[in-house]
Every structure is written in C-alpha cells, then in structure tokens.
Structure 1
Amino acid sequence: MAGRTMTGNTAVAGETATRPEPHGATRHAVFVQLNDPTGNSVLAYQRSGDGSLLEAGRYPTGGNGGAALQAPVDALASQGSLVYDQHHRMLYAVNAGSDTLTVFDVDGARLTRRQIIDSGGAFPVSIAAHGNLLYALNAGDDGTVQGFRITPDGLAPLPGSRRSLRLGNTNPPVFISAPAQIGISPDARHLVVTTKNHNAIDVFLLDSDGCPQGEPVVTATANPVPFSFAFTDQGIAVTEVVTSSVTHYQLHRDGTLTPLSSVADGQAALCWIQPLGGRLYGANAGSGTITAFDLSRDGGVALSGHDGGVVAQPGGAPIDMAASGDYLYVQNPVSGRLDGYHAARDGTLRQVATVTGLPVFADGNGMEGIAAS
C-alpha cells in the first residue's frame, strides 16, 4: 500500500492549521463529517497531487450529530449529508441531532463558519445544491423536503417549498424506513428522493422558482430498498440494497421513471454510489468491498470487467464516498478509517492514502458525510 497514515493536528473554526502543505499539494481538499452527537464537526484534509492527505483543521458545525434507530454501521443512513458547492465555494453540513444545517465558506482546506439555519424539519440527513437552489431532506417524523436560496449571506428559506413525504416515521427515524437521499436534476426541473423500505422513488416537478408543483410522482423501484443515486445522461442510477443492485432509470419530463437496466454485484448491502471517470463506484457495507459499474450509451449498466466488478476490498463497512480529480475517498466508520484510491482508466483502484484513528462512538456508529473539491 502506497498511502500514509495520519492522525492528530486540529484547528478551531476560523483558524488555519499550522502544518505545512505536503509536497505537491494542490488547492484541493477532502472534508469529513464526524457526526459526533455531543458536538458535530468537520475535518479538513489537504489533498496533494498524488492523492495523499494531510489534516488541515477541525471545524465545529455549531450543532450535534445524530443516529437513526437500529442503524447497523451508518448513523445517518443516507448519502449527501455533507456537500461541497464549487460555484459558491461553500460547504453544507447536516446536524441531525439539532435539526439544523451549517454553511461554511471554503478557502482550499480552510473553513469559516458562516451560518447555522433550521433545516425545515426533523433529523436532516441529505442535501442537494444546484445553481442558487438548495434542498434539505429531513428524515424524522413524516419526512420533509425544504428548499433554500443560496445567497451571498448564506441560505434563505424558499417560500412555498416545504413538502411532507408522509412516511409516518419516528424521530429519530428507524434507519430502514428513513429516506436516504435528495437530488436536484441537472436541468433543475426535478427533485428526487429515495425512500428505502417504502420501495419507491419520489419525484417532485419544480417550477421556475424551484418550488415543488403539488404532490410527488411516485415510482415503485425494480428491486427493494432504494438507497443512493447518481444522475446520468438518461436519468438516475440507483442502488437497491436487498439485491445489492444498481438499476438505471430513465427520468421523463413528467417525473415518471422507466427502468432501463439492472445488475446485481454479488456483494452485500450495496448502498452508496459515486461517479468518477465515466464510471460508477459502489460501496458494499456488508461485504467490505468497492464495486465498479459501466454505463452504456443505450442506458445499460454492467459490472466493470475486473474480478466480477470488485475493484477494492477495504474490509470493515465502507459507506459514503467522494471524488476529487482521479481519486476516490471512502469512509469506514466502524473502523475509524478513511481510505483514498487512484482510479485508473480501466476502473481499477490503487490505494494511495489511509487515515486512521477517526472517532467511533458508543453506539458503534461514527463519521458520516464526505465531500471533496
């Protein structure tokens, strides 16, 4: 393994870490949300040109992390709880235990806390940003989506944007019944939510102001327990946990979805998905593996042609991922570890970094939420 193990060195919010930049350092960074229930914070790492990481600071969000009920390895049971907005150079974090969102200004690997704002519901777990529009997904109680305008001063609630998902959850929610991810389509016409054991994908049509038009269009999924998704040229590629599958759906203008292709990876608990280099990478928490998928122009999805699609075996329970350049970074909360890989053109992964010693909390859960620039 070519990576380095790094721990220690923290800085409070608004301060710059004192460590020098590593050899070949760039302005790129990787951000990891610790999701501490006694005080949430974000760790920032400088990402060098060879993919190695150097801790640059620890930044309190001003809120608390949270844990869904019965969550096996991933406390928030979601994807997209920490989001980097390249256009505005802002980082958005959920504080599930405080029902708030935190906005940071980003300067390389340095963060400055700008705002803490109510999420518009209970137990926020996922964020989507597009242009000057941001939506938060709240998983507690009935589940809600809440829209915001992104302004020079931070987030401003978007009047008329709040919608109930009518899921009938508790607060905090049971992880399997909590919605997992929210996303805004590239054309900003659709707001997409996956609902786990409700076995459906909700699509809200958005008007020119970014507000949902009425109730969502609900499509039953091809396989049980839809979790995370990534937008594609045709629509969305969705992980479906029970069959450890990726299904590619065409997203129609009216909000309906049509399955184009589906493939199982033969692993266990495929939950998270990340585009990189024209491929999709999936994290299998139940088998401790990373799988690569190829998409064809006609909408087909297939395992990449290497060892049945398995391109890395980090062990433990890999969850959320982020891409920076040609590098893929993977959280492993039960192991308190962050792994970095270089993605080759053929889809194979070569490990280039390992960070150990990240906190694991009393309930066995730890960090959740990762973003990169």
Structure 2
Amino acid sequence: MPSSNVRKTRPGRAARATAVGAAAVAAAAVLAAPAASAATPRHATARDSAPVFVQSDNTTANTVVAYHRNPDGSLDRRGVYATGGRGGVLDGSVVDHLASQGSLGYDREHRLLYAVNAGSDTVTVFAVRGDRLRRLQVLPSGGDFPVSVAAHGDQVYVLNARGGGSVQGYVWNGGRLVQAPGRHRDLRLTVASPEFTHTPGQVGFTPDGSQLIVTTKAAANTIDVFPLTPSGAPAAHPVVTSTPDAVPFGFAFDRAGRLQVTEAGPNAVATFAVHRDGTLRRLGQVATGQMATCWVVSTGGHLYASNAGSATLSGYRVEPRGPLTSLGTTPTHDGTVDAAASSDGRDVYVQTGAQGIVDEFRVGHDGSLTRIGSVTVPGAVGGEGIAAG
C-alpha cells in the first residue's frame, strides 16, 4: 500500500510526468437565457424524485438528455436540452473525452443542474422541474476546458483542466449565479502528455461544505484540499496529500463521511479520513483486479467503481469500521465511465463511452447488481456526465 505524505504547500508545483501504464491509458460576461422566476433555488418536491440526466459532451453542440425513471428502474427519454455550449475532447482519450468525474452536477435540494461545456469554456445552469429542464444561464468557467462541477448550499465550484488547471467559485445572488473573482485558484500543475491522464480529475465538497477537494491524476499524483472560509472562499493554497504513482481520479464520500478515491495507477479504491485542517489519513486500499479504475459512486452502504478498461463495475460493502468488503464485479457495455445512483438507493446508472450507452441496474439488499436494461444516449459516444434524482 503506497504511503501518503502530507505537506502544506507545493513549492513551484513541480510534478513529474508519471508513467501511468496500460490500465490508465485504457481508460467550457454572463450569456444568460431569458430570465425566469425559477432562477432562485427552491426546495425539491416528490415530483422531482425520479429524473436521470446524461450529458452528451457533443463537440458541435453539447446537450443534456433527460430521462424519467420508472418504478422498475428502467429509463424513458423525456427530452434533449441544449446547454448553449460545446463539448470537448482531451488528447489521448477514447471512451472518456473529459477524463473526469462530476461534469454534470445535480443539486437535488434546490432543483438545479450544472453542466460543463469543455469546448467553449463555460458552465450552464438549468432549472429542474421533474424530468424537464429550463436553461437559466451560461457563464464563463474562469479557465480552460472545464471538466467537473460541484455545488453545496449557495456555493458552486468548477474545475478547469488545461493550462495547469484551476478552480473557479460562484455564488447565488439575487436569484442568479455570479462568478466570484476572489474565488479563483490556479493549481499550477505541470502540463504533460497524454492530456487525459495528466489533467485534474474532479472537484467536490466535503459533506459539511467546509472544504473543497481536487484530485490531480498523474499530473501530480496528489489530492488537494482547500479549506473554505465561512463565506465559502478557498484558502490561498491547498493542503496537499501526495499519493505516489496512484493517479487519484474520482472520489465519493461514504455514509460514514470517509473519502473513497479511485486510483488508476494500481487500479484500486483507497479510503481516507479528512481532518479539519485539510490533511488526509489513509485508512486502507482495496485492489479491484480490473483495468482503468477511475470513477466511483456511493449509495447507502455500498460503493461501485467503474473500470473502463475491463468494462466492469467493482462493488463493495462499506463497513462501519474497517476495510471495504468486495462484492465482486458486474459486466457493462464497453468503456465503463461515470455513474450515478438514485436518491432512494434502489438503482445505479452507468455511462459507457464506447457506444454512448447507459446501463441500468437494480441494487439488491446485499449490494448485488441486477441488470434492468440500457438506453443509447444520442450523440454521446465518449461522453461523460450523469446525475440521478
């Protein structure tokens, strides 16, 4: 198990271009839509409980496809919504053009959906009404090639991948999302090839919203934690945890509040405790035995890691204490990438990039997955970004 060394700063941000290996290789001024009364965040109701949204990342015109989730977990397409931006493709990517997790973010409480437009350096805000969307705003991402977005309360952060990487913060003000210039932080990652393994992978909040987390993949092999002020502004510099050769990619928090990170280098899921000062303590690591373990979704007492190179999901039971318990693997269509779980924990939906298919699974009480069926998302070959209500 690789050791994790914590340091408070990254002098010069000099990172070596780590050889990731075959496992990892297998693996967007406000441009507003018409103002709407729905622009102010609102609380969800029962009628909002069943949508699934999938981003195409189409390079001509990015779209979000809305699906209705039926009682049996199957999906029916309800509409295709233009984001007002373009998708993008990182050099070297095949089934995962953004090489990221969380490029589509759903704020269930406030009925808002955020989509990154990597090819036009923008982020789109939609109002959600059941399984229907209404575009509210298109804003600059504050950097080059946005790949991940996260929301907590009235705070939103976008992760930009190119040019060494950056995070950009936004706040809700008067019913509109506003870019906050003082909440931009450059990551200063070394630019290296191939892009899809040497760009940051995900941005996300800790469950209490007090810290912002960024994974850097092979660009630096680190997990960066920005402590946030009570108003939501990030610290000037992150607390940096080094994970040598691990290629930290996607992450999710389990129900115990532990950070679960996919490591594309060893093809594993690593468990960390996040301390209040931003330091991380490694609690364990479980190898998947698969190829290109890059994405992870948490639901109830279970985790599912996506293995793009093996076309499988690796399932785990989350113990209250102790290591993850393997539940085995489940086959998917080729190019297993981003995944989402329904809010009731009954269903898991997995994007597969080779043909732009979403596979549907019912979650058993023991965490086992039973295939329901699949849907083909229009124009979504290589696309990433999925969210479920």
Q: Could you tell me which residue of structure 2 aligns to residue 201 of structure 1?
A: 223
Pick which of 222-231 and 99-108 moved more: 222-231
Is 2:302–2:317's contact at 8 Å kept on the other side of the alignment? yes
* 1:102 maps to amino acid: T
Residues 114-147 of structure 1 show CA distances to partners (whole Å, capped at 9, x for unaligned) of 0000111110000111111110000010211011
Matched, 1:49 2:49: no
**Paired AA for residue 359 in structure 1:** G
Over aligned residue pairs, what C-alpha RMSD do you find? 1.9
- Residue 317 (str. 1) matches residue 340 (str. 2): no
For 1:357 and 1:120, locate their aligned partners in 2 and report how far apart those are by CA, in whole Å. 29
Q: 3-state SS of the aligned residue for 1:137?
A: strand
SS for the counterpart of 1:161 is strand
Q: Kindly indicate whether the alpha-carbon contact (under 8 Å) linking 2:240 and 2:279 is maintained by their aligned counterparts in 1.
A: yes
Distance in 2 between residues matched to 1:338 and 1:152, nearest whole Å:
37
The TM-score with structure 2 as length reference comes to 0.84
Give the alignment partner of residue 177 of structure 1, picking from 171, 176, 198. 198
Query: CA separation of 1:26/1:108 partners in 2, compared to 1, >3 Å: closer, same or farther?
Result: closer
Distance 2:236 2:388 in 1: 34
- 1:265 deviation in Å? 1.1
Kindly tell me: are residues 55 and 151 of structure 1, through their superposed partners in 2, closer, same or farther at Cα, counting changes over 3 Å? farther
Shift of 1:151: 4.1
Q: Residues 234 and 299 of structure 1 are in contact (CA less than 8 Å); yes or no, is this contact kept in structure 2?
A: no
> Secondary structure of the residue that 2:230 maps to in structure 1?
coil
TM-score by length of 1: 0.87
Query: In the alignment, what sits opposite 2:15?
Result: none
CA-to-partner distance for each residue in 1:35-71, whole Å, 9 max, x for gaps? 1111101110111111111110000000000011111
Q: Which amino acid in structure 2 is aligned with residue 351 of structure 1?
A: R
Specify whether residues 280 and 222 from structure 1 end up closer, same or farther in structure 2 by C-alpha distance, changes over 3 A only: farther
Query: Given residue 366 of structure 1, which amino acid in structure 2 is its aligned partner?
Result: G
In structure 2, distance between residues paired with 1:101 and 1:239: 25
Moved more, 88-97 or 148-157: 148-157
Q: Distance in 2 between matches of 1:150 and 1:281?
A: 32
Spell out, residue by residue over 1:199-223, the C-alpha distance to the aligned partner (whole angstroms, 9 max, x if none): 1100111111111122111101265
Deviation at 1:299, TM superposition (A): 4.4
User: Does the alignment pair 1:303 with 2:321?
Assistant: no
**Is contact 1:269-1:287 (8 Å) kept?**
yes
The correspondence for 2:239, drawn from 189, 197, 217, is 217
Summarize the Cα distance change of 1:317–1:144 in structure 2 as closer, same or farther, 3 Å threshold.
same
Q: Which residue of 2 aligns with 1:22?
A: none
Shift of 1:26: 7.9
- Sequence identity percentage: 47
Structure 2: give runs of 5+ residues left out of the alignment: 1-32, 35-46
Q: 2:262: which partner in 1?
A: 239
Aligned partner of residue 354 in structure 2, secondary structure: helix
Letter in 2 for 1:272: W
Aligned pair partner of 1:346 in 358, 366, 370: 366
Give the corresponding residue for 1:369: 385
The more displaced of 221-230 and 264-273 is: 221-230
Q: CA 1:147 to 1:105, structure 2 compared with 1: closer, same or farther past 3 Å? A: same
The number of aligned residues is 341
Partners of 2:322 and 2:173 in 1: CA distance: 37
CA distance in 2, matches of 1:80, 1:45: 18
CA contact (8 A) 1:288 1:313 kept: yes
Q: Which residue of 1 aligns with 2:91?
A: 69
Distance change >3 Å, CA 201–CA 26, structure 1 → 2: closer
Q: 2:52 aligns with which of 30, 36, 52?
A: 30
Any conservation in 1 of the 2:98–2:383 contact (CA below 8 Å)?
no
- Residue 18 of structure 1 corresponds to which residue in structure 2? none
SS of residue paired to 1:347:
coil
1:141-172 Cα deviation digits (max 9, x unpaired): 021101111346331112411100001337x9
Cα deviation 1:210-249 (Å, max 9, x = unaligned) = 1112211110126510000012334311000121100001
What is the match of residue 358 of structure 1?
378
Structure 1 consecutive aligned stretches of length 4 or more whose deviation exceeds 6 Å: none
For the pair 1:157 / 2:175, whether they are aligned, the reply is: no
Query: CA, structure 1 residues 26+147, in 2 after alignment: closer, same or farther (shift >3 Å)?
Result: closer
1:366 deviates by 2.5
Residue identity matched to 1:116: V
Aligned equivalents of 2:145 and 2:322: distance in 1?
A: 35
Asked if the contact 2:222/2:248 (under 8 Å) is kept, the reply is: yes
Higher relative contact order (CA 8 A, sep 6+): 2
